[in-house]
Amino acid sequence: MKLLYFDTVAGISGDMTLGALVSAGVRLDDLARELRKLTLTGYELTARHIQRSGISATKIDVIVSEPPKYHRHLRNIYELIDNSSLNDRVRDRAKRTFYEVALAEAKVHNSTVEKIHFHEVGAVDSLVDIVGTAICLELLGVEQIYSSPVKLGHGGFVKTEHGNLPIPTPATLEILKGYPTILTDIPHELTTPTGAAIIKALSAGTLSMERIRLDAVGYGTGTRDLGEIPNVLRVLLGQIEPGYAHDEIISVETNIDDMNPEIHPYVIEKLLAAGAHDAYIIPILMKKGRPGVLLSALVERGKLDAILDILFRETTTLGVRIQPIERRKLQRTQKRVTTSFGPVTVKSILRDGREQLVPEFEECKRVAVERNLPLAEVYRILERELKA
């Protein structure tokens, strides 16, 4: 599996991300060609090399000749992306990144995602940064993304259309809620809302660098020379070493002792439908000897809000516990194989370089219904044939 690791040496911004990805191997002409599919005009894309503490880093500049005449709402940006001829994964990654920014801006300004309008982030250069990042990831064949804890400046102010804001800005902090960060004493905006959104929307979490077999390294830089540290974002492109796959998921749990137990299965179904990897209930004995249950859900960070909405809407809980959990797992995919029952989808598990094929419940159920056979017999037949 090809992965990309964002090493936020001096934070992350949109132009630093583009610069690092171009430095790692994306040709500027290829990036410009794909960006033209967005039918966005009024800008020119340039690249140059800048020395930062002896490191040659790529600086991408978006030279805007025709500033937008109006502020864009999230729906306008989605329409621009959806009406392009970019592929589905590029469009999805770009839209997820913009959604993180819209969500944060709405919270900071006490508005809604639908009503919020973009200033800097909706401008041409930020559209190029965010969509361009999604394009570069696709051109590099990146399947999984990780990062270091995100570096944040502290103690200074940044000028925006809303006035002077403290660093880190409210939107950046809102986006990075729940994500590992490092607060430095550097009084400059190391991480921008755009950079924070790229990490929050696309990264599966943090990862130890020793698990990467490196293929390429890229350095991107911003405009400022920080002096005390090199103002660079470093990206590492490589492969996960053979063995266990690694990611981070979120555990959400709550104790409940005052809800009709007939509702429990319904809540579990809703959680799984909303994208939880797993959801389960464990009987517990609570304070004062009251019987209750521990309701738990395991979910990717990007789907956490949907899970919280279900728990607060469908249960009697007044609060939940949220913990990041590091997960190791065998590499697995789905595979279509020919059996005595015809084509059947099975689970392909890779362990120590050897493939193990395992029947999937839903496929076994389908075959059992179609052939009017006991489910256990279908399992036995498929297990025997898959081992042959």
- Residue 323 sits in a domain whose CATH number is 3.30.70.1380
One domain for residues 282 and 380? no
Out of 243, 267, 284, a domain closes at 243
What's the structural domain count of the chain? 3
| pLDDT value, residue 241 | 66
Pick the last residue of a domain from 220, 243, 266.
243
Residue 345 bridge partners (DSSP) = 336
Strand partners of residue 240: 212
- Which pLDDT score, from 0 to 100, does residue 105 have? 85
CA–CA gap between residue 224 and residue 52 (Å, rounded): 10
Same domain, 86 and 26: yes
Looking at the fold, whether 229 and 257 belong to one and the same domain comes out as no
Same domain, 20 and 92: yes
Q: What are phi and psi of 165, to 5 degrees?
A: -120, 145
Looking at residue 159, what is its pLDDT? Answer: 77
Q: What angle do CA 353, 355, 357 make, to 5 degrees?
A: 165
Q: Catalogue the long-range contacts made by 276-282 (C-beta closer than 8 Å, 24 or more residues apart).
A: 276/303, 276/307, 277/249
Q: What is the DSSP letter of 336?
A: E
Cα–Cα separations (whole angstroms), residue 345 to 56, 206, 341, 354, 359: 49, 32, 11, 19, 8
According to the model, what pLDDT value does residue 198 have? 97
| Reported pTM | 0.65
Radius of gyration of the chain (CA): 24
CA distance 62 to 19: 11
Q: Are residues 45 and 185 in the same domain?
A: yes
pLDDT given for residue 114 in this prediction: 76
Residue 82 confidence (pLDDT): 94
Spell out where 208-277 has E strands: 212-221, 232-240, 245-256
**DSSP-assigned beta bridge partners for residue 357:** 348
Helix (H) or strand (E) holding 75: helix 74-82
- 227 and 273 co-located in one domain: no
Domain around 357: 331-387
Q: Are residues 266 and 239 in the same domain?
A: no
In this structure, are 118 and 26 located in the same domain? yes
> What torsion do the CA atoms of 161, 118, 19, 233 make, to the nearest 10 degrees?
70
Indicate whether 290 and 183 sit together in one domain: no
Report the C-alpha gap between 280 and 2 in whole angstroms. 32
Among 301, 308, 295, 305, which Cα is nearest to 268's?
295
Residues 218 and 308 in one domain: no
Taking phi over 0 as left and psi of -120 to 50 as alpha, with beta for the rest, 25 belongs to: left
Give me the pLDDT at residue 301, please.
Answer: 87
Do 215 and 272 sit in the same domain of this protein? no
- pLDDT score recorded for residue 69: 62
Tens-level pLDDT at each residue, the chain (388 residues): 789 999 999 999 999 999 999 999 999 999 999 999 998 888 899 999 999 999 999 999 998 887 666 677 888 899 999 999 999 999 999 999 999 998 998 888 787 877 776 654 457 888 999 999 999 999 999 999 999 999 999 888 877 776 788 889 999 999 999 899 999 999 999 999 999 999 999 998 887 655 678 999 999 999 888 888 999 999 999 987 655 677 789 999 999 999 999 999 999 999 999 999 999 999 999 988 899 999 999 999 888 999 999 999 999 999 999 999 988 888 778 888 999 999 999 998 877 667 889 999 999 999 999 999 999 999 999 999 998 7
- Choose one of 189, 224, 243: the last residue of a domain: 243
Q: Which residue has the tokens 């755009």?
A: 194
User: For residue 175, which of 12, 313, 4, 319 has the smallest C-alpha distance?
Assistant: 12
Specify which residues 165 forms β-bridges with: 158
Same domain assignment for residues 235 and 371: no
